[in-house]
Amino acid sequence: MLSDDANSLLLMVHALATLAMAGIIWFVQVVHYPLFLSVPPEAYTAYQREHMSRTSLVVGPLMLVEAASALAILILGIAASNLAIPGIALLGAIWLSTFLIQVPRHAALERAADTRIIGSLIRTNWLRTIAWSVRAILSLLMLAPSSA
């Protein structure tokens, strides 16, 4: 069992990573992905490769910190299970969507620009956008003294 200070720190790290990802996903959903449609076809594959490389540097570490802290919270029983369990379920949905839906679409776009795939990427990304938004709320609720 961790000390109260360590528990609080873990909950704060989790909330920060989750809130950062929620902010990033909203930016991606509303601004970044729709702008994919404005990239000239002759520049698109190079743009997509650079997008993937730069985005991975930002979201990769945050997603790992979020997942590790969420699992630690659940395993250690730090937050009430009525918050931790749905949070983990949403995180599972996010990771599945990322690796089964978004990553393959991005890989296809690295080969050639395709407005249908971009449209699909935008539509299917709403799952992650909503899930991260709910997770952000849950992570803040976990910080409340009554949930610990």
Per-residue pLDDT tens listing for the chain (148 residues): 668 888 899 999 999 999 999 999 999 999 999 999 999 999 999 999 999 999 999 999 999 999 999 999 999 988 777 899 999 999 999 999 999 999 999 999 999 999 999 999 999 999 999 999 999 999 999 998 765 4
In a 3-state reduction of DSSP, which class is residue 79?
A: coil
Q: Which of the 8 DSSP states describes residue 58?
A: H
pTM, to two decimals: 0.92
The one-letter amino acid at 20: A
User: Residue 92 has what pLDDT?
Assistant: 97
Q: Which has the closest alpha carbon to 10: 65, 80, 59, 88?
A: 65
Residue 114 CA to residue 122 CA, distance in Å, equals 13
Residue 1 CA to residue 82 CA, distance in Å, equals 20
User: Residue 2 has what pLDDT?
Assistant: 65
| Contact status, residue 1 vs residue 68, Cβ threshold 8 Å | no
User: Residue 93 has what pLDDT?
Assistant: 98
